[in-house]
Amino acid sequence: MSVAGQTLTQTDLRTYAFTRDHVFSETQDHVFSHDPLTAIFLDKTLGNFGGVRMRGIGNTNQDGGASAQVRVRLGKHAGSKFLAGGWDSHPVNPDDNARLSTANWTHAAGVLAISDTDKDVHRGVENMASFVADQTESVMLSLVDTIADELQTTSSSVNAPTSLDSLISANDTAQGLGGDTYTQWNSRGVSARGTAAASVLFASGSFAAQGIADMRTAFNNASEGSIRPNVLATTYTVHEFYEGALQPQERFAGAVSVADGSFEALAFRKVPLLASPKTPSGYMWFLNAGSRGIQIITLSGKSFRFMPFKMSSTQEVALSELQWKGQLCIKNRLYGNNKLTTISA
Identify the weakest region by mean pLDDT among 77-86, 227-236, 237-246, 269-278: 77-86
Is residue 312 one of the residues assigned to a domain? yes
pLDDT for position 3: 61
214 close to 342: Cβ distance less than 8 angstroms = no
The span from the CA of 83 to the CA of 86, in Å, is 7
pLDDT for position 27: 55
The span from the CA of 2 to the CA of 290, in Å, is 65
Q: 224: which DSSP letter?
A: B
pLDDT for position 214: 98
**Domains held by the chain: number:** 1
The span from the CA of 176 to the CA of 237, in Å, is 35
Q: Which of left, alpha, beta for 336 (phi over 0: left; psi -120 to 50: alpha)?
A: left
CATH at 63: 3.90.1690
On the question of pLDDT at 44 being above 60, the answer is no
Is residue 86 one of the residues assigned to a domain? no
pLDDT for position 153: 96
Is residue 40 one of the residues assigned to a domain? yes
The span from the CA of 43 to the CA of 32, in Å, is 7
pLDDT for position 248: 56
Range of the domain at 139: 11-73+100-249+261-340
* pLDDT tens by residue, 241-263: 999 998 654 444 444 444 444 55
Is residue 229 one of the residues assigned to a domain? yes
Is residue 266 one of the residues assigned to a domain? yes
With 0-12 / 13-18 / 19 or more C-beta atoms within 10 angstroms meaning exposed / middle / buried, residue 80 is: exposed
pLDDT for position 247: 66
Is residue 276 one of the residues assigned to a domain? yes
Q: What is the reported pTM?
A: 0.83
Of residues 72 and 329, more confidence is placed in 329
288 close to 228: Cβ distance less than 8 angstroms = yes
Closest CA to 63 of 325, 323, 304, 300: 300
Is residue 190 one of the residues assigned to a domain? yes
What percent of the chain is predicted at pLDDT more than 70? 82
Q: Work out the average pLDDT over 80-88.
A: 87
Is residue 89 one of the residues assigned to a domain? no
pLDDT band of 340, cuts 50, 70, 90: very high
